[in-house]
Amino acid sequence: MNREWLEKDFYKELGVSSGASQDEIKKAYRKLARDLHPDKNPGDVKAEERFKAVSEAHAVLSDPEKRTEYDEARRLFASGGFPRGGGFSPGGGYTQGGFNDFNLGDIFGASNAGEGGLGDILGGLFNRGGGGARASSRPRRGSDVETETTLGFREAAQGVTVPLRMTSPSPCTTCHGSGAKPGTSPRVCPHCNGTGVISRNQGAFGFSEPCEDCRGTGSIIDDPCVDCHGTGIQNRTRTITVRIPPGVGDGQRIRLAGQGEAGLRGAPAGDLFVTVHVSQDKVFGRTGDDLTLVLPVSYSELVLGTTVSVPTLEGRVGVKVPAGTADGRTLRVRGRGVPKRSGGAGDLLVTVKVAVPQKLDDNATEALRSYAEAEKLGGFDPRAGWAGA
Ligand SMILES: [Zn+2]
Ligand SMILES: [Zn+2]
């Protein structure tokens, strides 16, 4: 976004030279804003885009301080002073003035602009005087929405598509978000000519404040839509289907771009953030991309060696327990763990654990006794070298 902004030519957007006076900029903007205003060009996406671009250009160039910053940044950028593609690095020297916070959403009054950010410019424009009445129908990026979901262990490991029910503001279906009663449409505010802004000259500087007639919206709704009371927004419960990628961990937060709250008047929607909770599994545990499980074995299986069938996320595999395997040892089965985002999968870690019989029948007891004898005669001492023995 930053880079995009730097690559934009705000002077060209307004059709003025880079040496244009504040007055020339103001005039050029007014004319363009009038011609391109969404209310004058309903449904014209191109005009809407241009309108936004022109508003953005004006927001920067009409503020002498921001204009100076923009000019400087552009000069630096053109001379290679900024890494291309990387945006600004925090603390890299050019973060003051809120350049990092810049995006269109901020311009149109999203609340997340940092102090001194460009959001403040327009926030100031539309809200100066401290009235607190925010322009409710100005194009504004939708808010981000937070939600959470609980997945089964295997679902999280393998990826799953889940329906999420959410209640959030959406464009009113009755008026399609215009806020005007169906059959009518908002008209361009005659006081500000649809710009939403009234400019005043005071001393050396001209400054702007929101139009009082339309409260900065640029348009006047004579017959408000009854279903949304003229806001163009309705609370709607919707179910969206979300694809959770394989390998998400408990507590992880997933961002789904554009799935948040609807934007106002054609502005982009916010993002949806889903915090994922993963329930425990009876068999498997997880360490990063590795799947863990405890395999119960008998003493004789460890001594003699065996091959045991163990479950994986997909089907079962035979795990070879070599003769003489120590209790508690972990055997690795490559590539049978949790799928990785980069492709491939982690490993399955199988830890053997001896199950000791609580009761033996006479035959087994007899056999074990003679085995113990034989073991001793064979010279095996489990505590050889242990504790100073
Ligand atoms: Zn409505
Ligand atoms: Zn007005």
Does residue 363 fall inside a structural domain? no
Ligand nearest to the CA of 173: 1
Ligand nearest to the CA of 190: 2
- Kind of pairing between the strands at 160-171 and 187-188: unpaired
Domain ends where: 103, 122, 149?
Answer: 103
The CB density around residue 111, as the number of other CB atoms within 10 Å, is 11
Show Cβ contacts of residue 134 under 8 Å, excluding neighbours closer than 6 positions. 109, 126, 127
Calpha distance 273→146 (Å, rounded):
5
CA distances from 176 to 65, 181, 182, 224 (A): 39, 10, 9, 12
pLDDT of residue 79: 55
Ligand nearest to the CA of 34: 2
Give the SS3 label for residue 57.
helix
pTM assigned to the model: 0.48
Distance 288 CA to ligand 1 centre (A): 48
Ligand nearest to the CA of 229: 1
Distance 173 CA to ligand 2 centre (A): 26
Distance 46 CA to ligand 2 centre (A): 23
Ligand nearest to the CA of 176: 1
CATH number at residue 243: 2.60.260.20
Does residue 364 fall inside a structural domain? no
Domain ends where: 280, 297, 321?
Answer: 280
Calpha distance 347→334 (Å, rounded):
5
User: Are residue 166 and residue 272 in the same domain, yes or no?
Assistant: yes
Ligand nearest to the CA of 195: 2
Ligand nearest to the CA of 188: 2
User: Are residue 199 and residue 320 in the same domain, yes or no?
Assistant: no
Calpha distance 184→61 (Å, rounded):
36
CA distances from 129 to 86, 113, 208, 225, 321 (A): 38, 19, 11, 29, 78
pLDDT of residue 116: 35
Structural domain including 300 reads 285-357
Distance 217 CA to ligand 2 centre (A): 7
Question: Which stretches of the chain drop beneath a pLDDT of 50?
Answer: 1-2, 81-136
Show Cβ contacts of residue 167 under 8 Å, excluding neighbours closer than 6 positions. 235, 236, 237, 238
Distance 227 CA to ligand 1 centre (A): 5
Distance 327 CA to ligand 1 centre (A): 70
Show Cβ contacts of residue 224 under 8 Å, excluding neighbours closer than 6 positions. 179, 180, 181, 230
User: Are residue 53 and residue 123 in the same domain, yes or no?
Assistant: no
CA distances from 206 to 23, 27, 198 (A): 8, 12, 10
User: Are residue 214 and residue 306 in the same domain, yes or no?
Assistant: no
Does residue 366 fall inside a structural domain? no
Distance 210 CA to ligand 2 centre (A): 8
Domain ends where: 243, 260, 280?
Answer: 280
CA dihedral sign, ordered 366, 367, 372, 378: positive
Distance 197 CA to ligand 2 centre (A): 7
Ligand nearest to the CA of 228: 1
pLDDT of residue 91: 35
User: Are residue 116 and residue 129 in the same domain, yes or no?
Assistant: yes
Does residue 384 fall inside a structural domain? no
Burial of 149 (0-12, 13-18, 19+ CB in 10 A): middle
Distance 155 CA to ligand 2 centre (A): 53
Report which DSSP code applies to 141: P
Distance 188 CA to ligand 1 centre (A): 18
Ligand nearest to the CA of 209: 2
Q: Are 16 and 25 in contact (CB under 8 A)?
A: yes
Distance 200 CA to ligand 2 centre (A): 14
Ligand nearest to the CA of 135: 2
Ligand nearest to the CA of 172: 1
Does residue 329 fall inside a structural domain? yes
What's the token pair of residue 261?
């709250």
Distance 220 CA to ligand 2 centre (A): 8
Distance 229 CA to ligand 1 centre (A): 7
pLDDT of residue 170: 73
User: Are residue 92 and residue 163 in the same domain, yes or no?
Assistant: no
User: Are residue 294 and residue 325 in the same domain, yes or no?
Assistant: yes
User: Are residue 120 and residue 176 in the same domain, yes or no?
Assistant: yes
First-to-final CA distance of the chain: 71
Q: Are 126 and 111 in contact (CB under 8 A)?
A: no
Q: Smallest Cα–Cα separation from 176: which of 42, 365, 26, 13?
A: 42
pLDDT of residue 138: 62
Does residue 382 fall inside a structural domain? no
User: Are residue 270 and residue 131 in the same domain, yes or no?
Assistant: yes
Report which DSSP code applies to 263: P
User: Are residue 92 and residue 148 in the same domain, yes or no?
Assistant: no
Single-letter residue type at 356: V
Distance 372 CA to ligand 2 centre (A): 98
Ligand nearest to the CA of 227: 1
The domain tally of the chain equals 3
User: Are residue 305 and residue 232 in the same domain, yes or no?
Assistant: no
Which residues face 150 on adjacent strands? 277
